[in-house]
Amino acid sequence: MSSSSCLLLSSSVPRIKKEAFANIRTKRDASTSASVSISCKLKPAPPCPLTLFFNSNPAKQKIVLVRSRTETGSGTDSDTDLATLAGEDSAAFDLKNQKLTSWVYFSVILGVVLFLLQLLWIDNSTGYGKAFIDSVSSLSDSHEVVMLVLILIFATVHSGLASLRDMGEKVIGARAYRVLFAGVSLPLAVSTIVYFINHRYDGMQLWQLQGAPGVHQIVWLSSFVSFFFLYPSTFNLLEVAAVDEPKMHLWETGVMRITRHPQMVGQVIWCLAHTLWIGNSVAAAASLGLIGHHLFGVWNGDKRLATRYGEAFEAVKRRTSVIPFAAIITGRQILPKDYYKEFIRLPYLTITALTLGAYIAHPLMQSASFLLHW
């Protein structure tokens, strides 16, 4: 057996036989004390005897699975120990790799988007937001039903466009499709949030725990923690704004070690906390709709990543779990000794500041929503 071998996945051949991946599985070399490991990088692999090209990404992304011999003193061949990465390092931010011009473009695009959102949707004199809310509200006198319909519309558009992403990017390109995706999803999200803020206390009261000792602290802490479960792609602001070409990432570090679907977990935590605090039927209906949407996202997200990344996703899936900490408890995910460093990064420091700012700005958010009369 040669001292090293690699499997390069790029974008030339549309299909690949399963046999090509047979040697990717971690195993012990009977002739030596060396072990075999798998890693994945978003850069060209080092020279190796075997190079195989594979088209798994219409956006021309490149995944490199490197199978190399690693000298280890132990006699174990745990898949988690040996396969350092089959996905990407999440929430990584290197200041020296940033371009000032990119962030200037981002600021300009953000300003234009907010201006158009205000003009075409939020402002009742020029936008269509109130007309949209009024049309949905005409379906029922029940705030619970209207809340669920608004979430259903948003979920259908958001998940539908996400599912059509591969096909859409082939037709109009990744940047144009991101503009379409955000341009449709953002107004619907704003409408749903504003309606919830304005009508969150209009339902039937199911319980009242706001004066109970410790409840406020539990709700505050739960809401704060929930934002640390944002999906790592959210941190790629330059891709979100299409300054950089948007990509479908396969993340594996950071919060992904805890759960493969952090956005769902964070949404469940947020919903349970707010339903506990508000304690009425409107909050319960909103939570039901949002949690249902994110549970669908678990299935749909795994399906899309499996289609895009194939064996690389399966490797990540084996080492992660949907239920928080399940993979860690069962030993499929072994945390590095310095795991905490994966959270001491600028994106998480920014999330901390923004979450605290959002809590302080709650009265302002509520006043602005009331003024819209949605």
- Report d(CA 185, CA 164) in Å as an integer: 14
3-state DSSP assignment of residue 300: helix
pLDDT of residue 137: 97
At 145, list the tokens: 């039903």
The pLDDT value recorded for residue 139 is 97
Pairwise CA distance, residues 104 & 118, whole Å: 21
Mean pLDDT, the chain, integer: 83
Of 33-42, 192-201, 350-359, the range with the lowest mean pLDDT is: 33-42
Each domain of the chain, given as residue ranges in start order, spans: 95-372
Q: What are phi and psi of 171, to 5 degrees?
A: -85, -50
CA distances from 354 to 224, 263, 265, 350, 367 (A): 10, 17, 19, 6, 19
The answer to which of 9-23, 95-109, 174-188, 210-224 has the lowest mean pLDDT is 9-23
- The pLDDT tens digits for 288-344 are 999 999 999 999 999 999 999 999 999 999 999 999 999 999 999 999 999 999 999
pLDDT confidence bin for 79, thresholds 50/70/90:
very low
Report the range of poorest mean pLDDT among 55-69, 152-166, 259-273, 347-361.
55-69
pLDDT at residue 206, as a whole number? 97
Quickly tell me which residue has 């971690």 as its tokens: 26
What are the structure tokens assigned to 11, written together? 């974008």
Q: Do the Cβ atoms of 159 and 300 come closer than 8 Å? A: yes
- Cβ burial, residue 254 (10 Å; 0-12/13-18/19+): buried
User: Tokens 């790029």 label which residue?
Assistant: 10
pTM given for the model? 0.78
Residue 221 predicted with pLDDT over 60: yes
Specify the pLDDT at position 84. 74
